[in-house]
Amino acid sequence: MISFDDARNTILSSVQPLEATRVSVRDALGRIAAETVAADADAVPFPRSAMDGYAVRAAECFHATREHPLELPLAGKVFAEEAESESILAPGTTLAITTGAPLPDGADAVIPFEQIERQNSTIRIFAPVASGACVFPPGEDIRRGEELIASGEPLSAGKLALLAFAGTTQLRVFQRPRVAVLCNGQELVDPAVTPGRGQVRNSNAIALIGLVTEFGGVPHDRGTAPDDPTILSAMLESARHDSDLLVTTGGASSGERDFVKGVLKDLGAKFIFEQVAMRPGKPFGFAVWHGKPICVLPGTPAAAFVCFQELVRPVMARLAGKQETNLPVVRARLQGSLHARSERRYFVLARLDLTANGFVVTPLNNQCSALVRTAADANAIIVVRETSSGGVSRMNSGELVEVEVFEWPHGLAGAGSITQDERDSVLLERPAGTTTISSWRCALPTRGVIHST
Of 2.40.340.10, 2.60.120.10, 3.40.140.10, 3.40.640.10, the CATH number of 329-442 is 2.40.340.10
3 state SS of 287 = strand
Q: What is the pLDDT of residues 48-81, one digit of tens each?
A: 999 999 999 999 999 999 999 999 999 999 887 6
Higher pLDDT, 82 or 317: 317
Bridge partners, residue 288, by sequence: 270, 293
Dump pLDDT digits (tens) for 334-361: 999 887 766 889 999 999 999 888 999 9
The CA distance from 177 to 180, in Å, is 10
Concatenating the DSSP letter of every residue in 384-428 gives E---STT-EEEE-TT-EEEEEESS--GGGG--TT--HHHHHTTEE
CATH 3.30.530.20 fits 48-136, yes or no: no
CA 118 to CA 106: how far, in whole Å?
22
CB 258 within 8 A of CB 248: no
pLDDT at 445 over 90: no
Give the pLDDT mean for 428-434: 39
Judged by average pLDDT, the poorest of 188-202, 205-219, 362-376, 422-436 is 422-436
The mean pLDDT of 295-305, rounded to a whole number, is: 96
Which of 28-32, 301-305, 314-318, 425-429 shows the lowest per-residue confidence on average (mean pLDDT)? Answer: 425-429
Domain pair 2-18+176-319 / 48-136, same fold: no
- Report, as an integer, the average pLDDT of 198-211: 95
Could you give the CA distance from residue 255 to residue 186 in angstroms, rounded to a whole number?
A: 14
2-18+176-319, CATH topology level: Molybdenum Cofactor Biosythetic Enzyme; Chain A (3.40.980)
- Evaluate the omega torsion of the peptide bond into residue 384 and state whether it is cis, within 30 degrees of 0: no
pTM above 0.85, yes or no: no
Rounded mean pLDDT of the chain?
88
Domain boundaries, the chain: 2-18+176-319, 20-43+140-174, 48-136, 329-442
Q: What is the pLDDT of residue 85?
A: 55
Mean pLDDT of 151-162: 96
Q: How far apart are CA 280 and CA 374, in angstroms?
A: 12
Say if residue 336 is exposed, middle or buried (CB neighbours under 10 Å; 0-12, 13-18, 19+).
Answer: middle
Q: Taking residues 432-450, what's their average pLDDT?
A: 36
Q: Which CATH class is domain 20-43+140-174?
A: alpha beta
